[in-house]
Amino acid sequence: MTGSGLHRGPLPALVELERRLRWRFAPLLIFVAMMVGLGTAAAVSLLVPRGTVAGIPGDADARAAFTLMRAQAPPGMGALRFRSELTGEAEAGRPPLDPATAVEAQALLARARARHPLDPRLPAALAHLDLARRRFEHAERGYRRALVLAPHYGEARLGLGVALALQAEREVDPLEQRALRLQAVAQFAAVPARDPAHAHALYDRAVLLAEVGRRPEAERRGREYLSAYGGDAWAESLGVRLPAAR
């Protein structure tokens, strides 16, 4: 009996150990599979050409909203450059957006978005409306929703940067103000060079870098802008702001 017990005693412990190892091994396999999946997705995203998101959605309500907004004077964005397919080219001193027009356009775009939830141009257009109405936090959320759908969408990056920069102007805490401006700079820097919004983003990047005290970098971006876009109407303004960039 004693000998028989010596042979059988360790077996339950070994079985329990094996069971525990299997239990721990399953999550490890799941984790490895997730890492492989994420790595594959990252590799595909790097290898697949990135298309430029631009233009007007094909939805009838969206087209009606864009037509409605294009009949309005584009709202200004202070010292910053901004342009969107919905609101056009911002100019300083423009009157604020008519509230009734904004509400009508918002309803049209909301209906279009319900039919096309994966089109990033629709949440971006709604964010443009919020930006024009100076609802900066709402605009920020809308642009971020668009960027989840299209991370390289230059118009949404530009809009998000402008929304953050204009939020900074309302901020009384100097540290929070600087943080918002640096976040805006990062959004401008993320606009691809081939994107229609690149000139606006580069201009705003140079202006904000100067405002946060990063003068040498601001002047480098200013020279980059003047080299690429020196013939436009904003070049003189940037030359006044950053004379060393000339």
Q: Which domain, by its residues, includes 128?
A: 60-191
Place of tokens 């000339």: 246
| Alpha carbon distance 127, 131 (integer Å) | 6
Spatial separation of the C-alpha atoms in residues 243 and 246, rounded to whole Å = 6
Domain membership of residue 104 (yes or no) is yes
Cα 200 to Cα 62: distance, rounded to the nearest angstrom: 24
Joined tokens for residue 64:
């009606």
Q: Where are the beta strands (DSSP E) in 100-173?
A: none
Residue 95 within a domain: yes
Say what the pTM is: 0.78
Within-domain flag for 64: yes
Q: Can you read off the two tokens belonging to residue 168?
A: 């900074």
The residue assigned the tokens 């640096």 is: 182
Number of domain units in the chain: 1
Q: Could you tell me the mean pLDDT of each successive run of 10 residues in the chain, 246 residues long?
A: 50 65 56 56 42 86 95 86 92 78 96 96 96 95 97 97 96 96 98 94 96 95 92 86 80
Q: 236 exposed, middle or buried (CB, 10 Å; 0-12, 13-18, 19+)?
A: exposed
Residue 205 lies in a domain: no
Residue at 148 is within a domain: yes
Assign 83 to helix, strand or coil: strand
**198 found inside a domain:** no
CATH number at residue 96: 1.25.40.10
Q: Is residue 162 part of a domain?
A: yes
Q: Is residue 225 part of a domain?
A: no
